Structure 1
Amino acid sequence: MGMLTFDLIVIGTGSAGATVAQTARKAGKSVAIIDKLPFGGTCSQRGCDPKKILVGAAEIVARSEQLTGKGITSPATIDWDALMQFKKTFTSPIPERTQSKFTDQGIQIFQGIASFSSANTIRIGEVELTANHIVVATGQRPQPLNIPGEKLLIDSTGFLELPRLPAKIVMVGGGYIAFEFAHIAARAGAKVSIIHQGQRPLEGFDADLVALLVKAMNAIGIHIILDARVTALEGDRDELIVRYSQHDKEHTVSTNLVVHAAGRVADVAELDLGNAGVTVGKKGIVVNEYLQSVSNPGIYACGDVAEKGLPLTPLASYEGSIVAENILNGNNRMYEDNPVPTAVFTIPTLASVGLTEEQAKDKGLRVQVRCQETNDWYSSRRINESFTAFKTLVEAETGTIVGAHVLGSGSEELINLFTLAIRHRINAKDLGAMLFAYPTHGSDLSSMLPDH
């Protein structure tokens, strides 16, 4: 078929890759976009979006359980099959819709595994493409565990497509995915265990609020095993034995399903980046402040595959817009470390922005810390929510907010107000003096800030 030449080749069709491709095309560049998976990326099809649909159902179960006998006669129950069908109404149309959108914009689409054959050439099967600029936006994939019986695991994609929910589930890992899936499965009636090799789960979040969240999970029967390493899986599809070691002792747990939620790595194994002279570090492709490969200036990386920032969808879009601008106008826009709010959609939700208390101490900042359980506050009592709390960090000298951590329903929205304040330097006193609609989670905000 010979060599096809473009101004720009983009590998990956999630929010990072799509942003670059569409921006460059709008500017009149010839663009090719490639994906080995269905077009549209992880978040919308196999990640945050479908997950939150399942969380929505689990929240109704939790809320109705909390209010049973307080005006609600019986807890809601989940019909797993019907919930999955509802989820598919969101995810199924995405690949075709994404492809049509690219085609309508004049972006040429290629389905298949891309690999570099040289510094500026990509091969997909028998086809070769070349461009002065190539953008890698392939995201992440589950990290191999390298244990016997690994093929018996399912990953997050598999969990979000389960035709039926088994009675017993083990989650391997102690991050977002394990915690969120545990809540969904437990509220849908499964008995859930989490096995995590770290000393504490959700390591990036505030330790005190995580400890309270763990209490909330224990209260609904989720069993969390810490400082434990899964060593092997045995059995067949439905009857599995998980072997793990903890404090030099060997243990086993029997289950029907084991979900891999133990971290993700940059999805670069098939790209043959060595042929393009691209350096890959521990977290992903090594880039400079312009998100350009440090070892091959014709290649940029953005989204989860790049070593910068957290693997979050809003950051992927943001990074995509930086890369597009730098390719179109020459490097003129740098990656900025703005505060990025993040939420773990457990029930209750845990949300966070800015520094944790440990990080503030490590930086040598003098901060006023306000930390309190809030299950006796109106917002919690109104829905009979037992495990809620917050912690705020305010710089002692200036009254600047440097971190906020909230556990409880509504915290995923409340954290956006804290982010706005941090980003635009609204100090604690001014934020606390604002009038918010009442009674709302926003109206609790002034009580979460130290008197300054």
Structure 2
Amino acid sequence: MQSFDLIVIGTGSAGKTVAQTVREAGKTVAIIDKLPFGGTCSQRGCDPKKVLVGAAEIVARSEQMLDKGISAVPAIDWPALMAFKKTFTDPIPENTEKKFVDLGIQSFHGTATFLSANTLRVGDDELTAKQIVIAAGAKPQPLNIPGEALLIDSTQFLELPELPREIVMVGGGYIAFEFAHIAARAGANVTIVHRGKRPLEGFDADLVNLLVKGVEAIGIRIVLEANVTRVEGEPGDLTVHYDRQGTCESVAAGLVVHAAGRVADVAELALEKAGVEVGEKGVKVNAHLQSVSNPAVYACGDVADKGLPLTPMASYEGRLVAENILNSNRQTFDSDPVPTTVFTVPPMASIGLTEEQARKQGRKVKVLFQETKDWYSNRRINEPVAGFKTIVDEESGQLLGAHLLGAGSDEVINLFALAMKHQIPAKALGDMLFAYPTHGSDLSYMLPD
């Protein structure tokens, strides 16, 4: 039995933040991961995805400017793009583990399983600690359909040596739309099959409608209210069957991608042996991100039932947990709005309440919604879809929500986030002078009088 002050399960943004902070405070720390060290975002998620999005943006921008000064559209060389992506991802496990070694954090490779409230097994090793942090992230949620094993997940998509001609995305959220844009710009025919009435349900409905028009204009087919019932065939020659309003339909594909949501990756942890409760969204935690049922255990990042499944949120939660471990739960979870972006081409970004949410709360609000493809910042690059919606509280003048679609949205949303965090009134934000002409300088026209 090996004993530590702290054991961390997971080496992503949340887990490594906790481990490093607590170790730097002089505590003994062990860290465990069943996957290559470094976490999902840097190896199997946000970062490699954004590399591919960068190539898709070049193609899209060239297509938009064809015969407007640009004479040819470049083609994506998929194997070469994958090789470039690997220059970012391949060094991460070794570099992560080396940093742990340099800090004196003891690393364990394998699946962690609880034996009791504060004891774990990893392979042949048994470990115990005063406190344990679960930061194991998320995994694709089971679809529970025949032929599920024929689908690939987002990790496998980001490792594809070649891109098939016909691709089906099962699901209508971030992953489906981002991968669909990448694949379409690389020359694939893409179909998105989603069971809901509209895709990207967490985003403003009016902006999603604009985005959908742009998506369909580049040849991506979207099938809504479609329940996938089974997938059959052989790899490279598959058929996706789905039920749509009582009618059985199907679509053929060389590749089918699971993009229908993720769940906390806790199935192998045997949390019942530790008395740790799990809900639909993950490990149940209190305001200190401490397990509601086992005070020796904390959870942070995508595996916990608080906060959005975003990398900045995971890092923030990791810092919060580290502070609470070192200083007896002095910090509580901050529920301030967090900006989020779906990296389609163009991107769509959001922070705070949607119009629907604000009205459901009974707020008296000013709402400004406008398509902006004819604004100079969009017209100069011939952006085919763009728009915004802002929601301001009539009584206080504070921003309640901002929703943007178009080039630069992923950066401009951070200005709205800064204003909301520090309670800068909408009028004061609109009076700011920004460098011109930039996407940021459009902000003053996005706020209601």
Shorter-chain-normalised TM-score: which range? over 0.9
What's the counterpart of residue 295 of structure 1?
293
One-letter amino acid of the structure 2 residue matched with residue 361 of structure 1: R
Correspondence list, 1:182-221, <5 A? 182-221=180-219
- State the Cα distance separating 1:76 from its structure 2 match: 1.4
**Is 1:160 aligned to residue 158 of structure 2?**
yes
What's the counterpart of residue 49 of structure 2?
51
**Is 1:173 aligned to residue 156 of structure 2?**
no
One-letter amino acid of the structure 2 residue matched with residue 6 of structure 1: F
Correspondence list, 1:16-415, <5 A? 16-415=14-413
| CA distance in 2 between partners of 1:164 and 1:379 (Å) | 36
Question: 3-state SS of the aligned residue for 1:270?
Answer: coil
CA deviations 1:166-187 (Å, max 9, x no partner) are 0000000000000000000000
| CA distance in 1 between partners of 2:401 and 2:377 (Å) | 22
- State the Cα distance separating 1:398 from its structure 2 match: 1.9
- State the Cα distance separating 1:125 from its structure 2 match: 1.2
| CA distance in 2 between partners of 1:261 and 1:61 (Å) | 24
| CA distance in 1 between partners of 2:318 and 2:426 (Å) | 33
Question: 3-state SS of the aligned residue for 1:198?
Answer: coil
| CA distance in 1 between partners of 2:231 and 2:427 (Å) | 54
| CA distance in 2 between partners of 1:443 and 1:124 (Å) | 54
TM-score (norm: length of structure 1): 0.99
| CA distance in 2 between partners of 1:280 and 1:111 (Å) | 24
**Is 1:423 aligned to residue 421 of structure 2?**
yes
- State the Cα distance separating 1:339 from its structure 2 match: 1.4
CA deviations 1:143-199 (Å, max 9, x no partner) are 010111111000000000000000000000000000000000000000000000111
Question: 3-state SS of the aligned residue for 1:235?
Answer: strand
- State the Cα distance separating 1:320 from its structure 2 match: 0.5
Length, aligned pairs only: 449
Question: 3-state SS of the aligned residue for 2:298?
Answer: strand
| CA distance in 2 between partners of 1:150 and 1:359 (Å) | 35
| CA distance in 2 between partners of 1:120 and 1:396 (Å) | 51
One-letter amino acid of the structure 2 residue matched with residue 356 of structure 1: T
Question: 3-state SS of the aligned residue for 1:233?
Answer: strand
| CA distance in 1 between partners of 2:399 and 2:326 (Å) | 37
- State the Cα distance separating 1:429 from its structure 2 match: 0.9
- State the Cα distance separating 1:123 from its structure 2 match: 0.1
- Root-mean-square deviation (CA), in Å? 0.5
| CA distance in 2 between partners of 1:65 and 1:50 (Å) | 23
One-letter amino acid of the structure 1 residue matched with residue 427 of structure 2: K
Q: Which aligned runs of 4 or more in structure 1 are off by greater than 4 angstroms?
A: none
Question: 3-state SS of the aligned residue for 2:318?
Answer: helix
- State the Cα distance separating 1:112 from its structure 2 match: 0.2
Question: 3-state SS of the aligned residue for 1:269?
Answer: coil
- State the Cα distance separating 1:126 from its structure 2 match: 1.1
Q: Which runs of 5+ in 2 are unaligned?
A: none
Q: Which runs of 5+ in 1 are unaligned?
A: none
